[in-house]
Amino acid sequence: MDLHRRPHDGDAAVPLRRHKSPPSSPKASDALPLPLYLTNAVFFTLFFSVAYFLLHRWRDKIRSSTPLHVVTFSELAAILSLIASFIYLLGFFGIDFVQSFISRSSNDAVWEDHINHAVCQQIPVLPPPEPLISSISTEEDEEIVKSVVEGKTPSYSLESRLGDCRRAAAIRREALQRVTGRSLQSLPLEGFDYESILGQCCEMPVGYVQIPVGVAGPLLLDGFEYTVPMATTEGCLVASTNRGCKAIYASGGASSVILKDGMSRAPVVRFSTAKRAAQLKFFLEDPLNFDTLAVVFNRSSRFATLQRIQCTMAGKNLYMRFTCSTGDAMGMNMVSKGVQNVLDFLQNDFPDMDIIGISGNFCSDKKPAAVNWIEGRGKSVVCEAIIKEEVVEKVLKTNVAALVELNVLKNLVGSAVAGALGGYNAHASNIVSAIFIATGQDPAQNVESSHCITMMEAINDGRDLHISVTMPSIEVGTVGGGTQLASQSACLNLLGVKGSSKDSPGSNSRLLATIVAGSVLAGELSLMSAIAAGQLVKSHMKYNRSSKNVCQM
C-alpha cells in the first residue's frame, strides 16, 4: 500500500507532531561589540583583579581595626566591577544550563499533560518518539522521499523505478519515518541482500529483523548425526532441546518413518443443483478417469505427480481435495497450478461448473483442521526412541513411571479436556517454529505442521522408556521461498539438505521433515522431564529472565 497522511479526527487519536529544533539561545556577549574571546578575557581579568584588590584592602582594614563598611571610592568601583563581571560570567556559563533545565522541565510538563489528557479520554498512550535520523544523502533521493510522502510516487513502485532494491528500501524507510513521526533507527537496513527477496519473499521492505540462531545436538537419528539450527528469542528452548538430544544420543539414537508425502489443494465449485455436483464427484472418484486427470494435473511441473482426489459435498457445492508429490519443494504453488489445469479441463465437460475459488479450505492450509490430522498433509512422520533407565535418571533427573503418568494426564487427557485438535503434545510448535524460521520455511504453516501426538510407555519391565511423536502434516521444502536466502540456506547446508537432490528428487525435503520430528522428540522428552522433576519454573527463572535493570534502560 502507499504511504500517505491520514487526517486526525479530534480526540480520536493523539496527534503526531514533528518537533523542530529550537533556535540557538542568545549568548551573554551577543550585545557587546567585541569578539567573544576578547570579551571573555576582559571580564575574566576584571573579576580576578578586583577580587584580589578587595581581599587585599579588607585584610589591611582588619589589621588596622578599620570598619569594613567604610569604603572609599576605589573600593566602591571595585565592588561594582566585581558584581558586573560575576553577572557576565554567570550569564555566559549558566544560561545554557538554566535554559536546558527549564526546557526539560517544560517538556516533562507537556508530556505529563499529554498523558493525563490521554487517560481522561481513554486514549492509548504511546511512548515519546525517538529523534528521526535521516539516511538520505543525496538531493535526488530527498526529492523522491518528498514525492512518496506527498503521494505522487507509489511506495511499492520504488524498486522498478529506481532499479536499486537497497536504495528503494532506504527511501521507503525515510518516507515512512516522516509520515508516522516514528524512528526506525533500531531496525537494521544495511547488511541484507534486498535483490534476493524481490518479487518472491517480501514486498515494500524497510529493513530486516534479527533473530538469534542457536544449535541443538548432535541429534542421532537413523544412524546419522545432525546439528539442528533453531531461530528463537525464547530462553531455555535451545538448551532444553539440546538436553533431549543428549538423552537420545546416550540411549542409542532415534529412528523415523515417513508414512505419506503429498501436498494438497482443495478448490470449491458450485452447480445449479446438488445432483449435478454429485455427477462431478462420481466422475472424479472413478478410477477409470484418474489417469486422464493425472496427465492434465502433472503438466504443471516435472516434479508434480497427482496421488489422489478426495471429494465432499455441502449442498450443491463440491470440494475437491487434490494431493500430489512435489519433489523437494514445499509445493503450494506447484499443486495450485496443477489444480488450475484440471479445473480448466473439467470446464469442457461441465460448462455449468462455477469455480468459486482455487482454495475452499478443505486443503487445509495454515489453519487447524481435522482433515490434516487424519489424512495428513505434506510429510507424515513417526519418530521414536527408547531411553534407558539410567539416562532418564542421570540426564533427565526424573524416572520412567513419572514421565508415563505425566504424559497420560497432560498430553492425552489434558488435551482432550481442552478439546485440542492435533495438540496432544507438550510444545511441539516451539521446536517446529524455531526450525522453520531458521531454514526459511513458511512460519504460518507451523499451525498444521505442529500437529503431534506424544506417546510414552514403560518397557523392559518398567525400566526403560519408549517415546514417540506422530506428526501427520509437516510441510517443509528445501527449494523455493525463503530457503534461497543466504542465512536460511546456510542453516539448510548445516543439516545437509540444501537445495534439491539430483539423485533422488524429494529426499532432501523428506530428510528435513524427519529432522524436525526428531527435534520435536528431543524437545518433548526434555520438557516433560523438567515438568515431572519440578524444574520448569526454576530453569525459566534462571535462563529466560533478563538481568538488566529495565528502569535504568
Phi/psi at 514 (nearest 5 deg)? Answer: -70, -35
Tell me if residue 143 is catalytic.
no
Q: Are the beta carbons of 452 and 428 closer than 8 angstroms?
A: yes
Four-CA torsion 147, 153, 156, 157, nearest 10 degrees:
-120
Nearest partner of 491 among 195, 200, 213, judged by Cα? 213
Helices and strands: H and E segment counts in the chain: 18, 11
* Residue in 61, 260, 397, 540 annotated catalytic: 540
Instruction: State whether residue 318 is helix, strand or coil.
Output: strand
Strands (DSSP E) contained in 209-292 are: 213-221, 224-231, 254-265, 268-270
Which residue in 366, 397, 410, 466 is the catalytic one? Answer: 366
The C-alpha cell that represents 32 in the structure block:
557587546
Judge whether 261 counts as a catalytic residue.
no
Residues 6+ apart with CB under 8 A from 387: 247, 248, 251, 396, 464, 465, 466, 467, 525
| Annotated active-site residue in 222, 234, 389, 457 | 234
Half-sphere exposure of 1 (CA within 13 A, CB side): 4
For residue 230, the SS3 value is strand
Active site residue 397: no
- Please, are residues 276 and 349 in contact by the beta-carbon 8 Å criterion? no
Among this protein's residues, is 117 annotated catalytic? Answer: no
3-state secondary structure 354-421: EEEECCCCCCCCCCCCHHHHHHCCEEEEEEEEEECHHHHHHCCCCCHHHHHHHHHHHHHHHHHHHCCC
159, 375, 442, 464: the active-site residue: 442
Q: Which residues contact 493 (CB under 8 A, 6 or more apart)?
A: none
Which residues are tagged catalytic? Answer: 234, 366, 442, 540
